[in-house]
Structure 1
Amino acid sequence: MKQPELGKVIQQHRLSKGMTQEELVERCNINVRTIQRIEAGEVTPRAFTVKTIMEVLDIHLPTDDPERSRPTVKPVFSPIDQRQLWWTGIAGVIYFLVSSYEVFWNIVLMADAGVEQPEYFTLLKIVVLISYAAFAYGFYLVGQRTDNKVLQFGVVFLILINAGIIGTDIYSGKVVGAEDVWFGVFEVMAFGVSLIPFSLGLVQSKKTFGQLYQVIGILGLITAVMFITVVFTLLGTFTWAVFDIACIYLLFKHSQGKEEEKREMLGF
């Protein structure tokens, strides 16, 4: 097997066993940088190195039948993971619908100080926060299963920042920005900043799941910049909606465990 297929197969077997690169190099007695370059498809290792790695990862490559020469790779997500991803996708749908209604009221309340917010507004924000945390957890699981630390950090950072924003509104009993424009600007900018690590984590997932993750991650970064500048917040609201829908799609896609996705991850 040639590169880059060899590197992807090694990476997927390592991840399916829950093994880090450091643990693999310890058992193979090779350099960490070597493993990194092999998995990235940058170098073709010596036959002895390949044999050692495959013995440690229990990879079998029969040579008598060309049609069977490709190793069987365990999927990144177990059946339990797939069920969890499906439910986080459902949480994403709930979040998208409820948050759209919340955003509508935020705009109305900030545009007209004479409008009274509905009595259920606090409950609405609590539902948004809970559904958002459940939705984001799906990507924490993705990052966990693919050893993507940036994505895991991005999810935690995203939840904490948004919990702070929503929590402030809940504590004050009103949309803070409607009373203090500058605080509202700060909340918008904070939300934009919260999207950056998460979006970078999605971009980094390209090497595992393909270019779609990179495209969606870049869309997230563009949305983040729009919110941070404040001037383009309205346009950013629309790109944010597209970004959320795309993220929901990714969770449902992973929950299906399609064979096509496995082949894409292997580069076949």
Structure 2
Amino acid sequence: MEQPELGKKILELRKANGLTQEELVARCNINVRTIQRIEAGEVTPRSHTVRSIFAALEIDLDQLQARAALPNPSKEKSQWLLMAFISGLIYFILAFWEAYMDYELSTSPSLSVSAWQYTMVKISILVCYSLFMLGFHQMGRIWENNWIKPASLLAIAGIVICIAADLYLFYNMDTDPLPLMAAQAILFGSIYMIFGFGLYRYKKEFGNMAIGAGIAVMITGLLFMSVVLALLGLLFLATSEILLLFVLYSAYSKLKP
């Protein structure tokens, strides 16, 4: 915290504790003139002086600095992240239904899956996943992150392409699906590598949760890019998306007014 904000904060906290400058001086062994100049923003005190003052005010300086580093709480921002979190939950549930339908269609092409049902599930996946990723784009704007912002938009573009490819294959059963599926795996694998690295860079703001999520997403990306290990990548994808939900909810909790 720099001057003059530091002086204003000390003045505010001293008055909140009902202390005069003389009473504060008696607690931290600093002369009155120094306190006056600090509160007026005329001088920048040394770190040990600042810690002595805050200790006298019974304030944990480290916690105060951590709170000061957070973005300003905003009801609009927090509600946006909450909506993204809920959309992510719905997407996570729908993804299991989607996977079941795709598996049944790949093993039994003659299986009766209605076109409207398949189309509605795919469109719902598209909408929910896009809102989910927009939550991370918002996080990238709040806690400046130049990897998450483009990666989240790329993920939205990727899901649009993949859903369009799935619908094309559904309505054109004679088409060989393997080339399109391989292209989908490589596309999403590449995007998830960028996205995972962006998450890892949130280690300062979200600690081990961001580190774990970032590593899980990057492993998922590598498995998808290999194509032959894409099925294993689906297992890591489920784990990484659970971690993404935790990260997003943690961001929402930090922004709640």
TM-score (normalised: structure 2): 0.70
Q: 1:97 is matched by which residue type in structure 2?
A: I
- Matched with 1:21 is none
Cα RMSD after superposing both structures = 3.0
Cα offset for 1:78? 2.5
Cα offset for 1:175? 7.8
- Matched with 1:154 is 151
Q: Structure 1 CA distance, aligned partners of 2:104 and 2:190?
A: 24
- Quick check: 1:110–1:177 contact (8 Å CA) kept in 2? no
Q: 1:91 is matched by which residue type in structure 2?
A: S
Note the residue ranges of structure 1 that are not aligned, 5 or more in a row: 1-8, 14-50, 55-60, 260-268
- Matched with 2:184 is 187
Task: Render the CA deviation track for 1:169-222: whole Å, top value 9, x for unaligned.
Answer: 335654879743222222222222221111110011112221220111011011
Q: Structure 2 CA distance, aligned partners of 1:62 and 1:193?
A: 47
1:139 equivalent among 105, 130, 136: 136
Q: Structure 2 CA distance, aligned partners of 1:209 and 1:252?
A: 11
Alignment of 1:109 onto 2:105: yes
Q: Structure 1 CA distance, aligned partners of 2:92 and 2:123?
A: 14
- Matched with 1:217 is 214
- Quick check: 1:193–1:228 contact (8 Å CA) kept in 2? yes
Alignment map for 1:1-268 (pairs within 5 Å): 64-66=53-55, 67-68=58-59, 70=61, 71=64, 73-74=67-68, 75-76=70-71, 77-119=73-115, 120-171=117-168, 173-174=170-171, 179-257=176-254
Cα offset for 1:160? 0.6
Quick check: which has more Rg, 1 or 2? 2
Q: Structure 2 CA distance, aligned partners of 1:65 and 1:165?
A: 56
- Quick check: 2:202–2:210 contact (8 Å CA) kept in 1? yes
Q: 1:68 is matched by which residue type in structure 2?
A: I
Moved >6 Å (runs of 4+): 175-178
Aligned to 1:257, what secondary structure does the other structure show?
helix
Q: Structure 2 CA distance, aligned partners of 1:176 and 1:163?
A: 20
Task: Render the CA deviation track for 1:109-142: whole Å, top value 9, x for unaligned.
Answer: 1233333433311111110000000011111111
Q: Structure 1 CA distance, aligned partners of 2:162 and 2:79?
A: 30
Q: Structure 2 CA distance, aligned partners of 1:234 and 1:64?
A: 59
Q: Structure 1's 177 and 241: CA in aligned 2 closer, same or farther, altered over 3 A? A: farther
Q: Structure 1 CA distance, aligned partners of 2:155 and 2:174?
A: 20
Q: Structure 1's 191 and 108: CA in aligned 2 closer, same or farther, altered over 3 A? A: farther
Q: Structure 1's 194 and 65: CA in aligned 2 closer, same or farther, altered over 3 A? A: closer
- The more displaced of 117-126 and 154-163 is 117-126
- Quick check: 2:220–2:236 contact (8 Å CA) kept in 1? yes
Cα offset for 1:64? 2.7
- Quick check: 1:125–1:166 contact (8 Å CA) kept in 2? yes
Q: Structure 2 CA distance, aligned partners of 1:109 and 1:63?
A: 70
Note the residue ranges of structure 2 that are not aligned, 5 or more in a row: 6-40, 45-49
Cα offset for 1:166? 0.7
TM-score (normalised: structure 1): 0.68
Aligned to 2:111, what secondary structure does the other structure show?
coil
Q: Structure 2 CA distance, aligned partners of 1:176 and 1:213?
A: 41
- Quick check: 2:136–2:148 contact (8 Å CA) kept in 1? yes
